[in-house]
Structure 1
Amino acid sequence: MTLASRVIPCLDVAAGRVVKGVNFQNLRDMGDPVELAAHYAAQGADEITFLDVTATVDDRATTYDVVQRTAEQVFVPLTVGGGVRSVDDVARLLSVGADKVGVNSAAIARPDLIGEIADRFGAQVLVLSLDVKRAPSTVSGFVVTTHGGRTETALDALDWAREATERGAGELLVNSIDADGTRDGFDLELVRLMREVASVPVIASGGAGKAADFAPAIKAGADAVLAASVFHTGALTVGQVKDALRAEGVTVRGALGEQEEAT
């Protein structure tokens, strides 16, 4: 059976509010995270990703109370990232209701963290988040950044993705900084390259602007598609995205969680 492609709304949170910008800059308030998460779950979201986008920059922990309140009202898998620096951080997030935990900057600073998390909780718990931008200085043409896209590393994005999966990452959340918030479509070249090196599921993120943008990302190799502003502004619903995917022959989950395949 073909696995269903997932549609994942993303809540970028700062100071307890959902925010969204363009190319990770000029963040603006988009609403209450608990209310939005419940809204998207009702629309049929397969998962919800909750990213505390300023936790690492501000050198603080993720907002656990917001995570807990969200988990109490939302009964689809919840991935939480931002400010995760240790195995204990992961344990605490799981204890307040997260199903999976996203790690980015801390894993780059200390790659052994990936294996430590996977060994204790299982690879399925660990989502490696990669904030990627185009960079001619790298072999692949893509470089990894940290601290919410503010700090560029010397890591080739494909090399890091390959290493992270070998160390135990169970999933890759690939955020295109160049496409983020532009609504010009996903970076399909980046998705294809990640699919070639990744032995685990790939989530495409950054650039969705219309319903027709999602199927090309799946066909380029993504196992899931993630978006934020098109959902927050009401430009699209989760159901509309799934309808568009079905129309292109992509298998998605139906309203009751069953797998439906376009005919």
Structure 2
Amino acid sequence: MANLRLIARLDIKGPNLIKGIQLEGVRVVGDPQTFARRYYQQGADEILYMDAVASLYNRDTLTNIVRRTAEEVFVPITVGGGLRSVDDVRDMLRAGADKVAINSAATLRPELISEVAERFGSQCMVLQIDAKRSGPGRWEVYRDCGREHTDLDVVEWARRGQELGAGEILLTSVDREGTRKGFDWELVKAVNDAVTIPVIASGGMGTFDHLPEVVEKGGADAVAIAYMLHYDKLTLPAIREKSLARNLPVRKL
């Protein structure tokens, strides 16, 4: 089995790192670059920058954050939020991103997934899925930071995303995001069972025990962690140590 990746998720609004609940009700945490550098030094496997309001603001701010971060952080950087075209992706990769996560634009024009994968490689194209439970064992894809219905079924959309060329899936449970009640492992399992590409679980981690649960029950290939890191509830070295003690396949430092 491939290593379980521990990914530090940083949600950005303008120049600030923020943390919300169910993608709303945000509070400012601090300077994103400072946090990204800290997480890199602590051994994060990847950094994930999500622009929470990219569609409303000028994206130059995020491009500059990514450019400065790439000078100091030497693990893969994934950037998502407001990327609408191959040109947007090219600009973000030139700024120093290794991968891009695309949600809204892909739901509106699925061919974009193939265009990005063909131009830059599947490994660069991360399909971002913001999911809300719509019934027992069913979830709907939302766009625009969990605000807009798409009427797409999450599992079917994940399968289609892989067929179109996505190299991995960033799966955020909007219901769980910021609640600290644990990942929606049933959602992760449903998607993981439908695709062969890696699935990153995001949204809901409030204690260490939520991590082995989503890996062992849901089959997550990676976890995106925000609250626990930003508020020093657990450091990345502590999470890695506890993971190794639970025989989870994390990278040994």
TM-score by length of 2: 0.96
SS of alignment partner, residue 49 of structure 1? strand
**Is structure 2 residue 169 aligned with structure 1 residue 172?**
yes
Aligned to 2:26: 27
**1:194 partner letter:** V
Aligned to 1:196: 193
Aligned to 1:232: 230
CA contact (8 A) 1:126 1:169 kept: yes
Partners of 2:109 and 2:15 in 1: CA distance = 28
Partners of 1:104 and 1:72 in 2: CA distance = 27
Matches within 5 A, 1:108-123: 108-123=107-122
Partners of 1:241 and 1:149 in 2: CA distance = 28
**Is structure 2 residue 105 aligned with structure 1 residue 106?**
yes
**Per-residue Cα deviation, 1:80-124 (whole angstroms, up to 9, x for no partner):** 011100011111111110011110000001000000000011100
- Give the gaps of 5 or more residues in structure 2: none
CA drift of 1:59 comes to 6.2
Aligned to 1:222: 220
Give RMSD over aligned pairs: 1.2
Question: Would you say how many aligned residue pairs link Structure 1 and Structure 2?
Answer: 251
**Per-residue Cα deviation, 1:1-30 (whole angstroms, up to 9, x for no partner):** x31100001000001110011111110001
CA contact (8 A) 2:46 2:77 kept: yes
CA contact (8 A) 2:128 2:169 kept: yes
CA contact (8 A) 1:114 1:167 kept: yes
Aligned to 1:97: 96
Matches within 5 A, 1:9-28: 9-28=8-27
CA drift of 1:61 comes to 3.2
Partners of 1:151 and 1:59 in 2: CA distance = 18
Partners of 2:139 and 2:173 in 1: CA distance = 10
CA contact (8 A) 2:14 2:57 kept: no
Partners of 2:242 and 2:127 in 1: CA distance = 28
Identity of aligned residues (%): 44
